[in-house]
Structure 1
Amino acid sequence: MTRVRLGALAGVVGFLAFVEFTSGFLQGYYTPMLSDIARHLEVPDADVNWLEGSQLMLSALVVPVLAKLGDMVGHKRILLWSTGVTALATLALPFATTFPLFLAAWTLQGVYVVWLPLEIALIWSRTRDREGRSLLTARAAGALVAALEAGAISGALIGGALIDALPITGVLLIPGLLVLVCLAVIAFGVAESPVQLGGRIDVVGLALVTVALLAFTGGLGLLRVQGVANPVPWAVVVLGLLLFVPFARWELRHPDPLIDVRLFRSPALAPVFATAALFGMSVLGAQAPLSTFIRTDPSTAGYGLGIGGFLTSLVIGAYLIAMVAGALAYPLAARVSTPRNALAAAALLVALGYLLFLPFHTTYAHMVTNMVIAGLGSGALVAALPAAAASGAPPHLTGVATGLTNSTKTVGGAVASAIFGIALMHGVAEAAGVGGAADGAVAGGTAGSFAGYVVVWCVCGGSALVAAVALRFAVPEDAFRDPVGVERERPRGRR
């Protein structure tokens, strides 16, 4: 009987792996061509950060709602709906000829970030009667992240090769077709989670958190536009933070809250959410700056490698292969040591990789080496954080807890994206005064400042270092182990 169940679970993981392959493809495909997209839309490199920032803002808004809906009406159903929205947005990108239209479609595409939390919650719900549930979920998460990174590698290599050979409109059409195939795979290959809780969405809580997040992330956007010397953006950021107070108070009184804020008080979960936010600064906020740094011509800007799209995709591919290795190695590291120590070690690798950019950034070998080190830790964290949240959360809040790892991660990425955009934007003004090279529009007049890239590396490395300390010293030693998960399962029969 156990073998049959494991076989059925393997089948579900297999179909979900294709979904994550598609997610990875979307994440990797565009990265080598971000400079080309900027040229196509006639905007400077620093404006590419608007794409990241807007998508992250939407992700922070929709993930809590969709994760809660997954617990209520079924994780497969919400997975299907979110994939349909992603397909429409992705297919709109090739036909968006202005930056505002492209930005709108790109932002809507960000709904796909809810896929992994929904998948982890679905797997967790299907392993509820099995021994070693946490380890099974961690292994499944590792397989999904491996598929995600395989998709990202494929996307980066294919995107990097095609952007050097084909018109950009045709290149941008390909991901949308893959998402349509993904939609069919979910519809016909993925079974629904066995338990749906029902209930209603906390509309007041949704409105409060939406306004708070919009104010906070909108203030970050204003900082990029109006500058850090202007007090208005800072006031909007502070307002957004203050608006979380009435939201938290409402949620504490609500019998079925949108987000159970008590989860943030958990000794096991609070450091996980903090780590996700800090980790989001590098894994989500740094991708565009790293791509544009590599593509920048050193003969005009004084830094960068000045390489083409395909060679850039090889650097990204090495990073993603390292992420696959890190994701697959995490369950073994957690079993040999403890999940807490394995998570802390992964965060340390991320910190080391980015801090190595400070002295070593002038050659192709430097870039590959640093990104491989960071990739090993990043892959482990991408796989481990949702699984750790699932094992540490009450059974009826699995989707919410896994969704919160993505929400906090995207908020961290949005903060970093704003910081990086501000830091790099100074270089556009500086470079605009650089006279007259024929290719100055590409490399000189639009390139960010080197000091801005130093900020990127320091923020990414420093945030990961703080996460490592929090994981090592703030998380209970026995957190995320199966006995904890078993103990939490006992109340299920009384529901």
Structure 2
Amino acid sequence: MVPGLWAVVGFLVAVEVASGILQGYYTPIFTDIADHLGIREGDVNWFEAAQLMLSALAVPLLSRLGDLWGHRNVLLLSTAITAVGSWVLVFSPGFTTFLVGWALQGAYVVWLPVEVAIIHRRTAGTGQQGRLTRRAAALLVAALEAGVILGALTSGALVEATSMPVLLALPAIAVTVCFVVVWFGIERAPGVATGDYDYAGVGLLTVVLGLVMGGLVLVRLQGVGSPWPWALVAAGVVATVALVRYEAGIAEPLIDVRLLAVPAQWSVQLTAFLFGMSVLGAQIPLSTFARADPDEVGYGLGASAGFVSTLVGVYVVSLLVGALLLPLASRLLGARGAMVAGMLLVAVGYGLFVPLHDSTGQLLANLGIAGIGSGLLVAALPAAAAAAAPPDRTGFATGMTNATKTVGGAIASAVFAIALTSTGSLDEPGVGAASLAGYLTVWSVCSVSALVGALLLLLARRAPTPPDVPDVPGGPGSPEPHDLRHA
């Protein structure tokens, strides 16, 4: 047993509860936020786009900084940025400042991978590093999902009883408390990496993400037929090639493309990308489908906002169950086998939506299956990435799982927006609603992408691993750690 390990995990659990509050608190009150700001509900999508862009950029930047500067310091920095963004929302007078605050809140996306890196470092030399890290990661994800439920229930209960500034102040207070928790609860530890910070890589990555995300936003605004969005995306692809070539040619890159080329690593990162398409891209379509009135559009449940919150709660509980099952699944199937099982469950869950979507029971069952698989993956991916990286790159590796997941979700969001596009006046019953074919496309993409991810994990398992990069624990070529029951 590592002295003080679980005390540190306890402090990090508090941070993940706050992270969950941020992720669940605002969902039930988006309409009220739009009314508070005097904007159309559709304009809320700009908040999502801005935060995804900042998150995709922040993760590799802060993860590399964690390897150089120390993971605790980066956790403090990202918590401070998130707190500032949260307080900006409280005092925001209009759309623009709210957009800035919402984007700054995206710094929280680095919390979980940095926390996994902290735990991975503390368990070094124990002989059971991989399994202890997975166990702790499962607890952190469980805390996150509990925070999501707490946040959603709290905002839904208070929205009619208090003013919007007071309502928005509660998550800001939670994040501020987290800063104090990290400051006093996590010990200082220096970074283990050496070398300079790759400022040129930062610039190139910013250009890549700006072009690609800008193109995706333009797809939403101008439609799939406009050439300008695709010109930006093509320019982003060209810039990506330049970024990869540059990063491969320097000694201390921001994005270690040589590490990412190792089968044990690229399979995990690509799995995270494919997983992000469902876990980040499909939630809004599921909500709008449930709210649709079958008498007007021919599909949906005609559910109230309160019932949709129940659906979200069931999904989050299933995520929690999946996260808690990770240690058992890893013991029975190995770490990589647990990820394969998670992807297959996601594929089955979303695949079942195609034929079975006409009743509440069917939606709940499908969401439960997909949620258990998603919970396994949310907990397993950062731990697997850390295990497949050298000690001085664990922060980068774990952070990249969130970065690739975010990019996957952003791309899927644009694709799903195109699939669900319709025309007409929203004042006319049934007009302006997406077609059922659009929803079938969403669920099919989620299912197929998960199946592809499972296949890639299986193929990468058979690939040889260089001797200087350890395989994922439980996979070929790696010794089985001691049983956790003796930890």
Whether the TM-score (by the shorter chain) exceeds 0.5 is yes
More helix as a share of residues: 1
What letter matches 2:473 in structure 1?
R
The structural deviation recorded for 1:333 is 1.1
Out of 389-398 and 468-477, give the one that drifted further: 468-477
Task: For 1:97 and 1:485, locate their aligned partners in 2 and report how far apart those are by CA, in whole Å.
Answer: 58
What aligned pairs does 1:15-414 form with structure 2 within 5 A after superposition?
15-41=11-37, 46-163=42-159, 165-193=161-189, 195-414=191-410
Give the Å deviation of 1:320. 1.0
1:493 aligns to what? Answer: none
| Residues paired across the two proteins, number | 473
Aligned match of 1:459 in 434, 441, 445?
A: 445
Deviation of 1:294 (Å): 2.9
Give secondary structure in 2 for the equivalent of 1:219: helix
Establish whether residue 415 from structure 1 lines up as the match of residue 401 from structure 2. Answer: no
- Give the equivalent residue in structure 2 for 1:472: 458
Paired letter, 1:91: W
Distance in structure 1 (CA, Å) of the matches to 2:309 and 2:458: 34
Picking from 6, 10, 27, the partner of 1:10 is 6
SS of residue paired to 2:353? coil
Instruction: Give the letter for the 2:132 counterpart.
Output: L
Compute the displacement of 1:465 (Å).
1.5
User: Could you tell me how far apart the structure 2 residues matched to 1:103 and 1:452 are?
Assistant: 29
What RMSD, in angstroms, separates the aligned Cα atoms of the two structures? Answer: 2.4
SS at match of 1:430: coil
Query: Distance in 2 between the 1:108 and 1:296 partners?
Result: 33
Name which of structure 1's ranges 460-469 and 161-170 shifts more when overlaid on structure 2: 161-170
Greater CA deviation, 68-77 or 47-56? 47-56
- Work out whether residues 161 and 310 of structure 1, in 8 Å CA contact, stay in contact via their aligned partners in 2: no
**Structure 2 segments unaligned to the other structure (5+ residues):** 466-470, 480-487
- TM-score for both structures, normalised by structure 1: 0.89
Secondary structure class of the residue paired with 2:4: helix
More deviation, 165-174/251-260: 165-174
Kept after mapping to 1: 8 A contact 2:334/2:475: no
Query: What is the TM-score with the length of structure 2 in the denominator?
Result: 0.91
The 1:193/1:361 distance shift into structure 2, 3 A limit, reads farther
Q: Percent identity?
A: 51
Shift in alpha-carbon separation, 1:292–1:236, aligned structure 2, 3 A: same
CA 1:64–1:90: 2 relative to 1, 3 Å: same
Which is worse superposed, 265-274 or 448-457?
448-457
Q: Deviations over 1:25-53 (max 9, x none)?
A: 11111222334444555555554443333
Following superposition, the deviation at residue 90 of structure 1 comes to 1.3
Q: For 1:486 and 1:468, how far apart are their aligned partners in 2?
A: 20
What displacement does 1:449 show? 4.5
Q: Secondary structure at the match of 1:475?
A: helix
Q: Residue 171 and residue 310 in structure 1: after superposition, are their counterparts in 2 closer, same or farther (change >3 A)?
A: farther
Contact 1:251–1:259 at 8 Å: present in 2 too? yes
Q: How far apart are residue 380 of structure 1 and its match?
A: 0.5
Please tell me whether the aligned partners of residues 86 and 110 of structure 1 are also in contact (alpha carbons under 8 angstroms): yes
Which amino acid in the other structure matches residue 439 of structure 2? Y
Q: Distance in 2 between matches of 1:336 and 1:153?
A: 29
CA–CA distance in 2 between the matches of 1:452 and 1:90? 35
Q: Residue 390 of structure 1: CA displacement?
A: 0.3
